[in-house]
Copies of this chain bind each other. A is one copy, B any other.
Amino acid sequence: MRFFPVALERLTEQFARLPGIGGKTAQRLAFHVLSLPEEEAADFASAILEAKKSVHLCPCCMNLTDRELCPICEDDDRDHSVICVVAEPRDVIAMERAREYNGLYHVLHGVISPLNHIGPDDIRIRELLARVGRGQVKEVIMATNPDTEGEATAMYLSRLLRPMELRVTRLAYGIPVGSQLEYADEVTLLRALEGRRDI
């Protein structure tokens, strides 16, 4: 026997397809949407359609944008000879928050991950090579996550880029500022020691 209206079950299924949302949570979210005023539910639905319609990838850096070129690529005050390679759009925000970097970005939209069947052709590597191939670029900074897949992706890319006569660098590893030494893991400490600098 069916206890809930079909439309409610359909909405629950839609929520359950989202990453990290299980069946119980999906049901809770669906109930919540039903309890919203008509207008707010309509706003939610139109936000989905509007985002899907207006947002696309910047043809230069592959970041998400609703303009022809994203604001960073469009900005002539930024250094167009440096490209920082990140895995996801949210990493661009993290970098920008540091207010230090003034070059451009390239968003890979993923990392190479053989276990998940994601190879070099499944992320935006081709676009990066084409971009670098057009000359002008002097340095590529790898800023993928410091985990196995992020490192493997950075290594793979640096091998491809090295013959192209430019500097390929990687963000420094080390102990995070404000952290406590006693809680740092061994690998991080090892990297911090290897990367030590004169003061």
A positions within 8 Å CB-CB of B:
1-8, 10-11, 13-14, 18-21, 25, 27-34, 36, 38, 41-55, 64-67, 71, 88-90, 92-93, 96
Contact = CB atoms under 8 A, between A and B. Distances in A.
Contacts of A53: 7
Given A19-B29, A71-B2, A52 B41 contact: yes
Q: How many protomers of this protein does the assembly include? A: 2
Q: Which 10 A-B pairs give the minimum distances between C-beta atoms? A: A5-B66, A45-B45, A11-B51, A7-B51, A41-B52, A45-B48, A7-B54, A11-B47, A14-B47, A7-B50
Contacts of A5: 51, 54-55, 64-67
Nearest to A18: B29
User: Which label, helix, strand, loop or mixed, suits the secondary structure of the A interface?
Assistant: helix
